[in-house]
C-alpha cells in the first residue's frame, strides 16, 4: 500500500466517548500533520510533527491529543468532544521542501 492512509473514513461519536483517528504514511516522509476542515472555512492546521517531535500546536483544545509513535504513524485521540468539532480531519505528510504535502482521504467526524 502506498501514500497516506487514514482510518476510519467515517466516525460518529457521542460527546462523552473516547476515540482515536489513525494516519499511516508509506512514503518515507519525516513530517506529519493534522488539519481540520470545517464547512465554509479554510483548512486549519492543528498539529505538526517533525522527526516524531511535535513542533507546532496551533492553540488546539486539549480534548484533541496527538501522538506520533514513529515517523510512519500519527494518531489523534479524541475525548469529550463538542458538536462544533464535527468536521473532516485530514492527515498529511511531507519530506523535501517544494514537493507539497501528500494528504490522506480524511476522516469525516460527526459529534452527536
* Site residues for another protein per CB under 8 A: 30-31, 33, 40-43, 45, 48-51, 55-56, 88, 90, 92, 94-106, 108
Cα–chain center distance at 95: 17
For residue 50, give every residue at least 6 positions away whose Cβ sits within 8 Å of its Cβ, in sequence order, or none: 30, 31
CB-facing half-sphere around the CA of 108: CA atoms within 13 A = 4
CB nearer to another protein: pick between 16 and 96: 96
Nearest approach in angstroms of CB 29 to another protein is 10
Nearest approach in angstroms of CB 80 to another protein is 25
Element (H, E) at 96: none
Nearest approach in angstroms of CB 88 to another protein is 6
CB nearer to another protein: pick between 13 and 88: 88
Within 10 A of 18 (CB to CB), how many other CB atoms are there?
12
Q: What's the rounded Cα separation, in Å, for the pair 79 and 92? A: 22
CB nearer to another protein: pick between 18 and 26: 26
Nearest approach in angstroms of CB 84 to another protein is 18
Amino acid at each position: 500500500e502506498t501514500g497516506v492512509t487514514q482510518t476510519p473514513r467515517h466516525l460518529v461519536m457521542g460527546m462523552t466517548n473516547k476515540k482515536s483517528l489513525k494516519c499511516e504514511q508509506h512514503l518515507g516522509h519525516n513530517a506529519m500533520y493534522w488539519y481540520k476542515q470545517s464547512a465554509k472555512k479554510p483548512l486549519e492546521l492543528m498539529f505538526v510533527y517533525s522527526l516524531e517531535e511535535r513542533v507546532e500546536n496551533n492553540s488546539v483544545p486539549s480534548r484533541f491529543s496527538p501522538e506520533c509513535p514513529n515517523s510512519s504513524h500519527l494518531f489523534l485521540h479524541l475525548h469529550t468532544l463538542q458538536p462544533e468539532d464535527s468536521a473532516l480531519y485530514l492527515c498529511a505528510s511531507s519530506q523535501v521542501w517544494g514537493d507539497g504535502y501528500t494528504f490522506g482521504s480524511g476522516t469525516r467526524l460527526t459529534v452527536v
